[in-house]
Structures are given as structure tokens and as C-alpha cells.
A and B are shown apart, each in its own frame.
Chain A
Amino acid sequence: MSEVKKNENTTAPKVDTRKTEINKFTLLFNKLGIWIIVVLLIVVGLIVSGGQFFGKSNIQSILEAVALVGMVCAGLFYVTYSGNMTDMSVPITMAFGGVMAVQCINFGFVGAIVVGLLAGALIGVINGFMIGKMRANAIIWTLAVNLLISGVIRVVWQGKMLYAEDIAREDMQDSANLFYSISRTYIGGVISLMAIVMLVMFFISWIIHTKTGFGQKLKIIGTNYEVAKFSGINCTRQLMIAYVINGLCSATAGIFYAALRKCASYENGTGYDFDALTAILLGGVSLNGGKGSIAGTIGGVLAYGMLNNILSWVGLGTYSKYLVQGIVFLFIVWLNTYSNRKLGKA
């Protein structure tokens, strides 16, 4: 079942002459995507772990390892989906959220969390406005924001670590302890609060993506910005919402990160931009925008964590782990691209 599109009119500028090939494999992979890889990893995991893969401690380990990157992915998905590739200010949004939460611990636990989230949302508003309204280059702008906020934190807090218990007044020490405990809480003694928050965030993100007009509009913006604009969609508003969601999600991860690390610092969150983008791309989201799903992103996040877990079971050293991870990730991205290509979707 193949078809060759012939370019008979030499003046026609863009006719795709590449082969398409619709078969069971390409259809199946395109439909289930990364989840096929997840199932394969589970099978491999069961074999190499001698059946302990689904043990309580192992599942805990996988979920906790991906919780923070998963929280970031729940928001970063919208940035990539909107056709703006990625947000280079994710690390500093995480750091700023954590720093503001710790600095405001004297407002009480809830107050500190709210301020931390607002800090993330504020960065989202600025990014959304500049990229959505002013059409700033998303990568350059967010990179600049990353540097700017990093500078602000370093200047204001003199590059030092912030400890909640040092900042909290005598009567607020309980708030500081409660803040630290959020990354160490296990619901029912089994599943960590971080993992639950990640799953809840993905659920909310899935509803926003599939059940709201915002999700539909963002798909059009991601697919073709000009078309979206001339269709009457308020692109600036939609992009601002996308960046605010991303800021909130990054700040949430940053707050948990600061609680886990027991200190806030400008360096918290370093590397999370690329980790999250890797997981999102593994999940089949297109860097060009308009393609992908939250379910795929969850699959990408899980594959990311499970592969690391399996390689530990195998007993590979750090260098070999990087090598195998690189090969597997390249394979997954190739498989995604291949199936899309054969179905004429890319």
C-alpha cells in the first residue's frame, strides 16, 4: 500500500514526493506510541529483576525518580505543543519558586507555597506576553529570562543557600518543618506525595488539553500561528495561559525540590529543562507544535524513569548507562518520526 506523489507542475513549490506506507505497524505505533515502549520496558524489567520489578519499593523508586521531571512536563507540554519548542527558563522558574517559598516561610506554610507558585506564574506571564504578544524568539527570550532571574537571585540573596529553619521565626519553625516534610510524605506509607501531586497535575493537564477550548485553540496555534490568528483566536492570550501553566508547574516542582534538598538556591532546577524536554519528545510531542498528547507525555516520563531503573538492575556503570540511554532514546525518537512519516503526518 504505497503511493508516490508526482510533482507534475514544476512551478508548484511544495509537493511532498516522499513515500507513505500505511501498515499495521505504523498505525499501531502511531496510535499507542511510547506506551508500546513502556510495555516492552516492563517486560524487560520483569526479566532482569527476577520478578521484583513490581515490588513496592521498586515502584516507589521509579515514581519518585520521575515525580519532579513529571511535574515540569505537565506544564512544559503546552509550550512545546504551542510551537515554541521549549522553555529555557524552567530551571530558574523552579529555583525562583523555591527561593520565594523559603523566603516567605514566615507567612506560614500555605502563604509560602502560594508565594512560590505566584513567583512561577509571574515568570510565565512575562514569558507569555513577550513571546505571545511581542513575538520574541521563544528560545532566546526564555534563555535571557533564565540569566536575568538568576542574576536577580544571586544579587538579592548573595549567591547563598536559603534554609527555611534559619529564616523562620521561633513561632514559624513548624511551618519550616512542614515545608521540608512535603517531599518526604508517603500516603498510606506506600506512595509518595510528590508522585501523587505529579499524577494529579497530569490529570488536570489532560482535562485542560482535551476538554477545554484552550486545548483546541493551542493545537491550531501550534500547527499554524498565522492561520490561528486569522481565525480570530486571541493567540497572545492563549500563549500567556500556556506559559502561566508552565510557570506554575515548574514552580511546583521547584517548591518540592527545595523541600527535598532542604534549601533553596539559584542552582536548584539545573538541567530540568532538557530532562523534561527529553521526556516530552519521547512521548511523541512534536517540537514544531500541534502534535502530541498528555498521555504520551506521561509515557515518556515513565519510560525515562523505568529505563534508568532497569539499567541499575542490569548493573551497568554510569558511562554504560549514558550510552544505552542515548541509544534507546534515539531509537524511540526515530520510531516516532518514522511512523509519522510513513503515515504522511510529517
Chain B
Amino acid sequence: MMKKSLAILLSGTMLLSAAFMTGCGGGSSSEAPKSSAASEASTPASSAAPEASEAGSEAPASSAAPEASEAGSAAPAGDVNVPEAAKASYEKLLAAEESLMTTDNHPMMAEGLSFDVPAVDGDAAAMEELPETDKNHWHYKEYLDWDQSADAQFPESPADGQEGKKVILIVHGAHAWTTCYTEAFKAACDAVGMTYDIYDPNWDQANQDSYVDQAINERPDAIVVIPVSADHATQQFKKITDAGIPAFCSNTTPEADAMNFIISYTGPNDWYQMRTLAAMLGESMEGKGGVAYITHNVGGSPYYARCYGPMTELAEKYPDIETLDIQSPGFEASEVKQVVADWITKFGDKLNAIVLADDSDQAIGAVEACQAAERTDIKIVAAGISKQGLELVKSGDLFGMSYQTCQGDAGLAVRTVSEWFCGIDVARVNYLSTDIATKDNASSFEPCQW
């Protein structure tokens, strides 16, 4: 009896102390994003990147310039032909687009961008024969350049608006980013009048596959998936589309073939962002020096985009800049710190810049190593945008980082789904607007989203 009481007492003490400690922090950080995500706010502080323009065009067109093109799907209310049955819903959507702001004061449901796909002479295998520093080597990874003639028979839009529709979101796994994304997704759905269920497979591919089956059995009006892995996405989206349910892909780029079964992809354009960042870095290095790369998890789309995006950009514009090394130590600050410290000892003055796939733990590790070795002259750029990263940008330890809005990512997915329910032609690929955060404009991205 005493043993039982002791065990219960210990468990109870631990839970109570956890609850008590949460309360005693006063203004806990968990409160902030929730309220601000749904709050109205002033004019957005930043704009999209220079070459990109707001769009919603036909998907992959074969034109020369890889810049964003203008198009019509997200045009103002007056220009959009919305069926009578969807007009009230569409008005609600427009109101949500106007009012919903991200924590850092940007529109949460801003319209997407689309980019023209440059023409290449050959298939994926032929392109992979090219050197890794050639942009075209990565063409089929960079662009969702799928064969549209093989598109599946997509479900027809009911064209009666998004209000009252049920959407199931299947995320990839638990993470602070995912928490931020799902909260924004809920806020956006609430604002446009959709109901939702959210499933979290905790980074497990098999779990996600079974959640896809479960979601299909529930017969929702639409399913949005953030794929755990790009190469499983085709099968997942095929199942959904074959079941007659509209499928949308968010955040993580799927394999190009998966696009045959996806009504629309919404998310960041990692390649473009990192190229913009690399161009800024190359200019600051005056076209010479050595660069080393710390990658994302090997094999995922951010691995290629955040390593070979900047590398090919530098190789094209600044051929005198040398690639010193590529390492994938993961996302732990101490591991990254060791890799960078080893680079500093090994390469010495030849190491002038570091490109990171992550602006939180990787950036902290890299900055700490440079400071410990008194090599603050090394320029570090990263993909972001996290609170730790922004603090490093403000202090000048990070030279720059890409702005990749998490709440805007969720908002764009909800916007695109809603537009489809309203009977509007949505672009097959909708990229998030982007920007570069530097010391000069860091305040435009505060307070951070996650």
C-alpha cells in the first residue's frame, strides 16, 4: 500500500510541478503567437524578392527565364469570375486574406508566386551527366517539371465555396515549426469557414501512409498532405485522387511525377531563395574565396536546394569562388560547431564563407565555432527563419538568411484550397513570396513565428 502511495505521490508531484512551473512564468511564450496570428495588423513590412511577381499562372511553361510570371488566379475580387453559389464564401475568403496577419506582421494568406520553367535539352538522366556545379544538373529536382499529358482525372470543383467544407491536413511530424503551421492552418480555416482534422504521423512514413488511408475513408472534401518523403508522395496522392478526393500538397516538394495527382502544390521555393542568398554572398565576397556547406538531411528536397542551389549560383556568377567542403552533421549545434572548428583549423584563411541549411542550431554551432576561433570575418548565410537565426542576424553574426514564412505557408494552402472550392482555376504550383533578412531589415521579421 505504501509503495503504491509513494509511486502515485511521485508521479503526481512531477505533473503538478510541471503545471505550476508553466504558470509561474507569467507571460509565457506560448501565448504570444496564438493571439497575434489571428490579429489584425498594419501594413506588411517587407516585399517579395526582386524578380518574383505575384501570380497564379499555368504550371510549367517552357520559357527561357526562370523568373516569376504574372497570372490570374489570385486576381482581385472584381476580376475573378466566381459562380453565384460561391460568391458569399469568396467574400469571406477575401475578408480573411485582408485581415489575417502572421506574427511578424505579414499577410498570412498572401497570393502565391509561380515561376517559369526554363527549357532543357534532355531528360533527368541526361542532365545528371552534367557537372554538379551546372544548374541544369539539378533541373528536374529544382522544377516540378512533370508531364502534364499524364495528369490524372481530377475531381471537379463543386464551385459552391469553401464554407462548411471539411479538410483533412496530414503533416509530416511533431516539431515547433509544425505546431506553428497547424495553428496558422486552424486560424485560416476558421476565418474562411472550413472545418478541419489534423493528423500527425510523427515523421513515420508508414504512419503517414495509414493516415492517408484513414483520411480517404472519412471522405472529407479535400486532403492536404505535407509528405514525409518526396518519393512516397506519388503513391499517396494517387490514392487520394483515385478516391475522387481533391489532393493538395503543402510545404515539401514532392517528386515531379506526383504532380500528376495533385491539384496544387503550395510552399516555399527553396532553390530560388537560396540562389538569391548566394548572389548576395558572392557579391560581398567580391567574387573570390572559399565556401563550405552544411546541408539539410541527406536526400530530402531541402538538401539539394540549400546546398546545390547556392553552389550552382556561385559557380555561374562567381567562378573564382571555390567550394571547400560539404558536410551533413545534422541539426545539433555541438556537432556543427565541431565541423566548423575543424574547417577553420584545416582550411585556415581559405575559408571565407559558410552556407547553412538551417538558421537555428546549425547557425548557432557555426557562429560559436567562428567566435571561439576569432574568425568573425567568415560570412555565414542560412535558410530560415527562426528566432535564434534572427537574433544572430541582428547581432551581425549571420550575414543574411532567407525568409520562409511558416504561417504564410499554412495560409497559402488554405487560400488555394478555398479558391478551388470557389470554382476558381488555381495554379498547379503556388510558391510563397520570399525575402532576405539582413541586419538592416531584421526588425521587419519580428516577432518571429516560431
Contact = CB atoms under 8 A, between A and B. Distances in A.
A122 B174 CA distance: 26
A57 interface: yes
Say what secondary structure dominates the interface of chain B: helix
A167 B368 contact: no
Interface in B164-200: 174-176, 178-180
A299 B353 CA distance: 35
A163 interface: yes
A103 B25 contact: yes
Interface stretch (B7-15, B57-65, B237-245, B431-439): B7-15
B99 interface: no
B342 interface: yes
B: interface residue count bin: 35 or more
Contacts of A57: 341, 344-345, 372-373
Given A158-B179, A160-B30, A265-B176, A65 B10 contact: no
Given A126-B11, A159-B176, A161-B176, A312 B391 contact: no
B358 to A, nearest CB: 12
Contact of B339 (A184, A312, A319): A312
Contacts of A267: 175
B13, B337, B345: residue with the most chain A Cβ atoms closer than 10 Å: B345
Given A125-B10, A312-B339, A263 B387 contact: yes
Interface stretch (A7-15, A149-157, A207-215, A284-292): A149-157
Contact of A318 (B22, B328, B344): B328
A328 interface: no
Contacts of A52: 345
Contacts of A192: 372
B36 to A, nearest CB: 13
27 contacts: A49-B345, A52-B345, A55-B345, A61-B338, A62-B338, A65-B335, A103-B21, A103-B22, A104-B21, A106-B25, A126-B7, A129-B6, A133-B3, A152-B18, A156-B22, A157-B30, A159-B174, A160-B33, A161-B387, A161-B450, A163-B29, A167-B28, A186-B372, A261-B360, A263-B387, A267-B175, A318-B295
Interface of B: 3, 6-7, 10-11, 13-15, 17-19, 21-22, 24-30, 32-33, 174-176, 178-180, 295, 298, 325-329, 332-335, 337-339, 341-346, 360-361, 364, 368-369, 371-373, 387-388, 391, 450
Given A100-B18, A159-B175, A162-B29, 15 more contacts: A57-B344, A103-B21, A115-B21, A126-B7, A152-B18, A156-B19, A161-B176, A166-B27, A166-B32, A192-B372, A260-B368, A261-B364, A315-B346, A318-B329, A319-B298
